[in-house]
Structure 1
Amino acid sequence: MKKISLYITMFLAVCLLACTEDFNEDVAAPQSYPEESPQVINGFAIALDGGFTSPVVLKNLEENASIQAVKATATPEMTEGASVTFRLQLSDTESFTRIIDLPSQSENNAAVVDASDLNGAVKELFGKAPNPRAIHLRAYVYILDGTSASQLPDPVSLGTVTVTPIAPNIEQAYYLIGTPNDWEASNVSTLIAFNHSGNDVYEDSYFTLLVESPGDCYWKVVPQSIVTAVETGVAESVWIDGVLGTEIDSDASLEGKLDVKTTGAMKIADKGWAKITLNMMESTYTVEVIGEMKLQLYVAGAHQGWDPAAAPIVYSRNFDMKYDGYV
């Protein structure tokens, strides 16, 4: 009988050891911030609410989604019907040297913010690039009692929240493919590069190109990533996903929307020079038809003895029919 009891005891011990195995060992926990103690001022305990307790990626939310921002977790005794409201401010520094007011709505001793307002505020502080930004948040606390409101003397600093704003993916360079390069898609050196200021593409999203149209000049736009894919042997030609066209093929409109999901080509119907401008923040294009013109003129005359071989040249540098040079 003692042997049987011993075997049962050993069996139960093995079972208990087996049950201690952690089957969630390789499962990643949801990303969130370490829980911080509420900030207490004059008996009011203020803390970040659920929407701000983990990084906020705005593209994952509806445009006008409400985000739980700040809440009062405890208050001193208040008169019946009184409530806590908030005024929120953001900054890019802990010292709040530069401040952006963040619109919010207070109810039930908590404040929510609109996703679009947060997106605009973060872009105003840091620029338009869709990078994660560490914003510093503080709140002014008000006690609303009927029609009167009193403000606590000092704002409550609530630490940092990481927010990634919404913006399109803008590449560093774009190229024209079409009639001007005979639609050559494998030799990317024949593509015609759009000009850009060289500044941050999210602060200057305009790319321009002057092109001479033979009439019925068809074109599309190739991003730098596709050119790189061809140059590195990842793709054989530029005809992979990502080339920008328009919904209607042979669209001769002087403005329109660029889209990677469409297969249509834009068209410059007139003959002569044209200026194409891309606004990649809005994914739009405009075409300014300049017309036929010579970019340089020879100026013969008495000033140089009417010698054609010695005639000075004047240039039109801005495609505006105005020429300058020395004669």
Structure 2
Amino acid sequence: MKKHILIFLLLAMAFVACNKEKALPYYQPGEAVTLNSSTTSVVLSAANADQKVMVLSWTDPRLAVDTANYKFVVEIAPNGTHFAKPFSYTVNGGQYGIGVPGADLNNMLIAWGAGYGAATDLEIRVKSSYANNNDLKISNVLNVKVSAYAVPFTLNASAAGPLTPTVATKDHIFTVLSWNAPDYGSSKASYIIQYALAGTNFAAPKEIVIAADSVRRSLTGLEVYQMAANSGIALNTTGAVEMRVKAVVGGTGQVSYSSVQTLKISPVEMTLYMYIAGDFQGWDPAAAPKIASSDGVNYEGYAWVPAGGNGEFKMTSQADWNGTNYGGSSTATGGVLDPAGGSLKWPALGAYYRLKVNMNTKAWTITKTDWGLIGSATPGGWDKSTPMVYEVATGKWKATVLMTTGEFKFRANNSWDIDLGAAGTYLDYGKSNIPITAGLKTITLDLSNPLKYTYSIQ
């Protein structure tokens, strides 16, 4: 029996040894395709954004499979970059060409940092392969010159005026600016609103910051008033302000501008106040000295702080405690306001101070002042101030001086850092000398009404 089994196994092995496996199929390698373009130069614009501005075509790679298994990758890159970061299109099957839209080319150029209107040299090639990327071959390289463009966009205003903000309407929304975001594909822009007096061609525009990714901005009455003041539109007249949106592409920095929108503004006087209430005057905002602003940002004014008390105070937005009440940090020269902060502190008591506040930065500054007279008509001439005395009872500075015919100004701290001169109805900083005739004169300086400083000569 064992003999029979052995014979059977030997015969089976012999049979297997006599049957060879069939050879695997052999596929002829394909060819690198030849790439052609319908153009060697393209000037892009909004008019051809949706058009196929360049048609690329290539030859058959002659792969040994059905064309459904062909794969082509078109690569486009700036000249000299060796296709390090190309823009690409993938084409599957037996399609031997594509049309490239103008918008695609423009988006590529913007992403690569090309300037608007500047001609950029591009390189184009095609990679051909089987669908599984085997037998990959690269075509010839074409050179094409392409010029990018700034996508136009439009600025609109919900109300164009005439706009007349007042103290009562300073917080109301007067107009809403909106614009369509220019499309640069994956590249995104940030925006800044610029404005200037109409007819100046934005020679020195002012700017309004926009929240990231926003394409609209509401303007309050106060902001409209500030625009008129910054543009030089006189009170009680009507003027025009031109506005545009500046778009800056993130990462690459190209700059473009929207269409221009005009606002007509008729400003009236709008003086805003903050109140300096503290221990020195009984913590009563309604009776407190004030600082004032004509633009809603920069405030200034003066306050007498008598000796005694703890030297604490706050600045209030209203003549009561029902608005925003600012405390914050205090140093010998000022600090930073904070509505959640503790009381502010005077540097010293028994002094007359000039206070200034910037409501954009919330910084406040303080300067102790002692006033005097200076000029050709004064005993000290233009070299030395003649001191004045502060009268607590009247809240005014006063000096009785033998003057000669000539001119004088008011000066603080025997220094030219702070001086007041004639500027129409009210005194203003750094303005004209004041003429005076000879004689014993009593001269009074009144700084109690912020931004409306006056004097008298008797």
TM-score range, shorter chain: 0.3 to 0.5
TM-score by length of 2: 0.35
Looking at secondary structure, tell me which structure has more strand per residue. 2
For normalisation by structure 1, the TM-score amounts to 0.47
Q: Which has the larger radius of gyration?
A: 2
Structure with the larger RCO, 1 or 2 (CA within 8 Å, 6+ apart): 1
